[in-house]
A = this chain, B = another copy of it.
C-alpha cells in the first residue's frame, strides 16, 4: 500500500548481541573505574552484597572481580576490615582496538543523541543545588588544562553529573557507557591546552543555558561542543 515496499532496515536482521553476565559485569565495573566514578582507593561493597545488587551469583561476580584484579584495576585484601578496592594508581589504558576505531563515528553519533537528550531534559528538571555542584566541577576543569587525564576525569564528572541532573536513570547509564567508549578513543590523542580552553568556554555556556531553563540553547551549545571532538577524530582516524 505504501511506496518502497521492499525497503527493509538492516537493523531488523542485525546480529544479536548476547553478552554473558560475566562480560557485562566486567564492562560495567571496569567502565565505572576507568571513568573515575569509582575513585582510586575506594572500597567496593562486599561481594555478598554486591552480587545481590547486580542480580548475579557470587561466583559469577568473583569471576569478574578476578578478571579486573588480573588487569590491575582492583585488588582485594582479606580479613576483618578487608574488601575489594579500586587500585591506586590505575594501570595504563590499553590502546583502542581496531574494531573500536572502525566504529568511532557510530560512537560519536550515540554520544550526540545521549548528550542532546540530557541537555534538553536537564534544562527542564535540574535543581539549583545540582547546578551549583556542576559549577564547582567546571571550576576544577579550568585548573586542569595542562594535565589531560585529570581534565578528562573532571569532564566526565560534568557530563555524567548533567545526566544525573536530568533525573533519568536510563540516560545516566547510557551516558556512562558512551563516555567509556569515548575515553577509549580519545585517551591516546593529543589535546593542546587551547582546545581545552575553548571546551571550557562551552561548558560554561552550557551550564548557563541549563540554569536559565533554555533547553534549545543548551542543545545548540552541546552540539558545538561535541563537534569539536568529532573534528579532531575525523582528522586522525580513517573512514571520515
Contact indicator per residue, chain A 127-143, by CB within 8 Å of chain B (1) or not (0): 00000010011001000
> Which chain B residues lie closer than 8 Å to A176 at the CB level?
9, 11-12
Q: Which of B4, B154, B172, B223 contacts A11 (CB 8 A)?
A: B172
Copies in the complex: 2
**Cβ-defined contact, B113 with A174, below 8 A:** yes
CB under 8 Å from chain B, chain A span 137-187: 137, 140, 154, 157, 160, 164, 166, 168-174, 176
The CA of A154 and the CA of B173, in the complex, are separated in Å by: 31
Interface of A is mostly: helix
Q: How far is the CB of A50 from chain B (nearest CB, A)?
A: 7
The CA of A29 and the CA of B11, in the complex, are separated in Å by: 10
A2 at the interface (CB under 8 A from B): yes
CB under 8 Å from chain B, chain A span 8-37: 8-21, 24-25, 28-29, 32, 37
